[in-house]
Amino acid sequence: MHGTLNPPRQRWYRQLYIQVLIAIALGILLGWMNPDLAKSMKWLGDAFIALIKMMIAPVIFCTIVHGIASMGDLRKVGRVGLKALIYFEVVSTLALLVGVIVGEVVQPGRGFGANVSTLDPKAVAGYAAAAEKDTFVSHILALIPRSFFDAFAGGDLLQVLLVSVLTGVVVLQLGERTQQINHAIETMGQIFFKIIGLVVKLAPIGAFGAMAFTIGQYGLASLGNLLGLVLTFYLTSLLFVLGVLGAIAWWSGFSILRFIVYIKDELLIVLGTSSSESVLPQMMQKMEGLGASKSVVGLVIPTGYSFNLDGTNIYMTLATLFLAQAVGADLSFGQYATIIAVAMLTSKGASGVTGAGFITLAATLAAIPNNPVPVAAMTLVLGIDKFMSECRALTNLVGNGVATVVISAWENELDRTQLAAALAHPVAAAEAVEAEPIERAL
């Protein structure tokens, strides 16, 4: 394994996850004691996310191009990509089904008694407008940027993925020039990773601002009678992580609980910022620290951010059933099938940015035959969506980490000795990886 499992230990107050925990607690306290001041802290969270998003597109480009070019064989690229897509679709479908099953068994919206005629559609007009444009054809066309550089300017992950894959395939076919170009791309990537390494140190400030705004804006009391849906979603996500992902991890030879401890720092940052994008480079570094090969990590992690969104999938089916139950709509088997099929499409590209899950929910509701659940019903969950976005991002992050290890094992490119050593002492292993330069993940 790279590094040592016993690096010099930092003082507790200098450890990032401790700083993030303290920042989250202070944000909650400020939101409770002084809501107006807390709401003015929103810009801190927005600024941190903006700094991270500024670097995500070039990091993904360099990582994927370098990963593909390093494989040295287009057949291997295709094989790993196909395995990843199969895994993503199977596990995403399981996530959708788990949301449906729990929604039907628990029925969190039953007895809510919402009157559709009293709902204000203006509150979700923006989401509804976005949903109307969300069709299969629009998804295909949205994959194609107006120019090569427009993908980076717009920050659309699907467009960046397309440009990156095409570039990687071409670089791989340049013969003797491949190594030179790949070295240049690796150097560029190291620069971007170092920049993100600096930005991540601001995570406590971003987490404080985001959490203070959330509590100040909505208040702990805003959960009210919707607390049942929030708790159901968190418990369902926990069930999925420990049950479905836990079974996949066990089948692949590692413990999901030890894996979660290993990525605790990244989970806490995501909890504070509600965005899994904020820890993309660190996750790549951590997966390499578990013994996954560079090439697989470089292809699977960035792709998973658009195609493997387990938390978003659970949210869409569970929230859809909650709204249907709340307005007294009985869904047929065909409508259930439509919800799952549409959710499989609309979830792609909802890359963990706060609010993306709400837009995909609007698109899913709009596509249900005979429109039994009007998009205006989303006003019922508008106030608590922010509380659930953290859980969506956390589940997405764990799902992508597990996928990377599993596909590395599937490709016989997982160092089992390194995996066992790291997860035998997950805290020490995580600290050892974090002590190394972040660009090692490239």
For 296-331, how does the pLDDT look when each residue is reduced to its tens digit (9 = 90+)?
A: 888 888 888 878 889 888 988 898 888 888 888 888
Q: Is the pLDDT of residue 349 over 70?
A: no
Query: pTM here?
Result: 0.76
Beta-carbon-side half-sphere exposure of residue 46 (alpha carbons within 13 Å): 8
What pLDDT is recorded for position 420? 93
Q: Is the pLDDT of residue 127 over 60?
A: no
**Domains delineated in the chain:** 12-441 (1.10.3860.10)
What pLDDT is recorded for position 257? 95
Nearest to residue 414, comparing CAs of 424, 404, 423? 404
Q: Is the pLDDT of residue 179 over 80?
A: yes
Please indicate whether residue 395 or residue 76 has the higher confidence score (pLDDT). Answer: 395
Q: What is the pLDDT of residues 240-257, one digit of tens each?
A: 999 999 999 999 999 999
What pLDDT is recorded for position 358? 63
Mean pLDDT over 429-433 rounds to: 82
Mean pLDDT rounded to a whole number for the chain: 80
pLDDT band at 117 (very low <50, low <70, confident <90, very high): low
Residues linked to residue 414 through DSSP beta bridges, in sequence order: 292
